[in-house]
Amino acid sequence: MISARLHYASLALIELALRQGKPAPVAVREISELHGIPAPFLVQILRTLRGKGWVRSVRGSQGGYRLAVDPAQLTLLEIADAVGCSESSCQTESNETVANGQLHEVWGAAVQASRDVLAETTLADIASKCSPSEAVMFYI
């Protein structure tokens, strides 16, 4: 139900959030190795994030990625929707009976419940719990 794409995208964004103050951008290879994400796959994901304007890329030697938004304004739900963790409740088209309608209401409520949880958590929330032990240490 939670796709690897979403998990990887979140990990990458957290990593970038932790290094926001730093001058140098973060290389794909570095993120890939730190979090055990297949590098070519990560590239593909970062392209999506770049399309949303959440990260900016710097090309050439010493290039990499940098976070382009306020981590406190970006929720996990937005990320999920961006990477296409298709959260449509149920796309089967049975006959339009009363039972069918009643069920769809419940399916919708269930999906909404999980979306609400994701909507309540921002990138900053998670990053703040990671600060002490993670990469932040390098820039003091």
Partner DNA sequence: ACTATAGTTGACTATTTGGATCATGTTTCT
Partner DNA sequence: AGAAACATGATCCAAATAGTCAACTATAGT
> Where along the sequence are the contacts to its own copies (CB under 8 A)?
1-2, 4, 7-8, 10-11, 14-15, 34-37, 76, 86-90, 92-95, 97-100, 102-103, 106-107, 109-111, 113-118, 121, 126-127, 129-130, 133-134
Distance in Å, CB of 58 to its own copies, minimum: 23
For 26, the 3-state DSSP assignment is: strand
Buried b (16+ CB within 10 A) or exposed e, 96-129: eeeeeeeeeeeeeeeeeeebeebeeebbbebbee
Any residues with CB less than 8 A from the CB of 49 and at least 6 apart, and which? 9, 12, 13, 55, 82
In the complex, the smallest distance separating the C-beta of residue 73 from DNA, rounded to whole angstroms, is 22
State the residues that interact with DNA by CB under 7 A: 3-5, 8, 25-29, 38-41, 43-44, 46-47, 50, 57-65, 84-86, 92
Which of DNA, its own copies, none does residue 59 bind (CB under 5 to 8 Å by kind)?
A: DNA
Residue 40 makes CB contacts below 8 A (sequence gap 6+) with none
Binding partner selected for residue 29 from its own copies, DNA, none, CB under the kind-specific 5 to 8 Å limit: DNA
State which residue, 62 or 99, has the beta carbon closest to its own copies.
99
| Residue 136 DSSP label | G
Tell me how far, at minimum, the Cβ of 45 lies from DNA, in Å. Answer: 9
Q: Which two tokens stand for residue 35?
A: 């979090």
Q: Shortest gap between Cβ of 34 and DNA (angstroms)?
A: 13
CA angle in degrees (0–180, nearest 5) for 17-3-130? 30
